[in-house]
Homo-oligomer: A and B are copies of this chain.
Amino acid sequence: MNSSAQPGGVPARPTSRDVAERAGVSQATVSLVLRERWQGRVSPARAETVREAARALGYRPNLAARSLRLGRTRTALVVVPALSSEFFAKVYAGAARVAAEHGFGVVLYPSPEGIGPAPDPFAHSSATLDGVLAASMAAPALRALSGGGLPLVMLDSEPQDPGAAATVNPDIADGMRRTAAHVLDLGHRRLAHLAADVDSWTFRERADALARETARVPGAAIVRTERAPLSVRGGLAAAERALTADPRPTVLVCDDDVLAVGALKAARRLGLRVPGDVSVTGFDDTELSTAVEPELTTVRLPATAMGEEGMRALLAALRGETAPGAVLPVALIPRASTGPPPAG
C-alpha cells in the first residue's frame, strides 16, 4: 500500500521514509543528502537520485521532528511592542535578513501592550525557540521575557540589564542632545517636554538628556513637562495644556513623531503658527514626519541596523560567544517645524 494515501483519501505528507523507498536507499542517506552532509559519504550519483525522489514527492522535512531530534530549532523570537510602527517593522526586517543569512528563521511576537492578546510569548510560538530578540520593552513585559530562560538580546533598552546577553541601542541620549542643542542654538529658552507616558529606558533617556542639555545654557529651562499616551490625540491634548500655560513655551520637544503631530494640530487650533509662534520637534523620523505640514524636525534612528546588529549578537550568544553590545549613531534631521522663537 502506498504510504502517501490514507483511508480517507487525504494525501499524507511524504516523509523521509517515502523518499528513501523511492530512491532505493536508507532513511539515513536521505537525511545526509538533504542536509548537505553527504560529501565523501554518499556517491554523487546516489545523492542526485535522492534529490530527485524528494522533488518528485514534494518532500518537506517535518520541522517538529527535526527540532525534537536536534534539541534546537534555528528559530528566534522577535518581540516588538507595536506592529503598526515603521520603526519596529524595520527592526524586524533587519533581524530577519541577518537570521536568514545564517539559516535561522524568525517568529514575530507583538507584545500585548502594543497590540496582541497572547499573554505568554512562549505558550504558542509553535515550537521551541533558540533565543529572543526584544525591542523597546517596558519593564513588566521585560520581566515576563527573562523568565523564559533563553538567550536574550535587548534593543533600545537598559544597557546593564542582567537578564540580557547583550544590548544594542541607538544613541538616544545623543539624539535628544542634538535636538536640544538645535533649538537652544536657535535662541529658544522656554522649552516644554511632551513626554511619552511609557515607563521604559528609551523615554527615560530622552528626558534625562533634554534636562542635561538645557541646564548647560544659562537662562534656558524646561518650563513644563506634559505626559501623553503615544497617539496623535494624546499629543494634541498634552500640547494644548502646555501651550495655554503662562509663560507659554516657545518650543515643544516631543518624545515621538506621533506626539509632535498632535502638537502641530494643537498649535493650529490655538491659532499659533509653526514655527513662527512655536517650534515643534519629533523623534523617530517615521513617514508621519514628512506627511504633515510643516514637516517635522526629528531624530532618525537606525532601525534596520538595530535589527541586524541585534540578531548578530543573538547568533553569537547562541554559539556560546560573548555577544558584543553596540551603540549605534543617530542623526538630527532639521526640517521646517523649527525656527527662531518669536521676538519678545
Residues of chain A at the chain B interface (Cβ within 8 Å): 13, 58, 60, 62-65, 67-68, 73-75, 82-86, 88-90, 92-93, 96-97, 100, 104-108, 110, 115-118, 122-129, 149, 231-232, 258, 261, 264-265, 268, 287-288, 290-293
Select which of B58, B82, B124, B258 is within 8 A of A75 by beta carbon. B124
Q: Are B107 and A107 within 8 A (Cβ)? A: yes
Supplied contacts A104-B124, A107-B126, 14 more A-B pairs, CB within 8 Å: A67-B126, A75-B126, A82-B89, A83-B83, A83-B84, A83-B89, A92-B116, A93-B110, A93-B115, A100-B124, A125-B126, A126-B126, A126-B129, A231-B287
Partner of A124 from B105, B122, B293 at Cβ < 8 Å:
B105
**Contact A89–B100 (Cβ < 8 Å):** no
A92 and B118 CA atoms in complex are apart in Å by 12
Closest B residue, CB atoms, query A265? B293
Which residues of B are found within 8 Å of A58, using beta-carbon distances? 149
6 A-B pairs with C-beta separation under 8 A: A82-B89, A83-B84, A84-B85, A96-B116, A107-B107, A107-B108
Chain B residues, Cβ within 8 Å of A107: 107-108, 125-126
From B64, B96, B104, B129, contact of A128 by CB (8 A): B64
Q: Which residues of B contact A13 (CB under 8 A)?
A: 149
In-complex Cβ contact of A86 among B67, B84, B92, B265 (8 A): B84
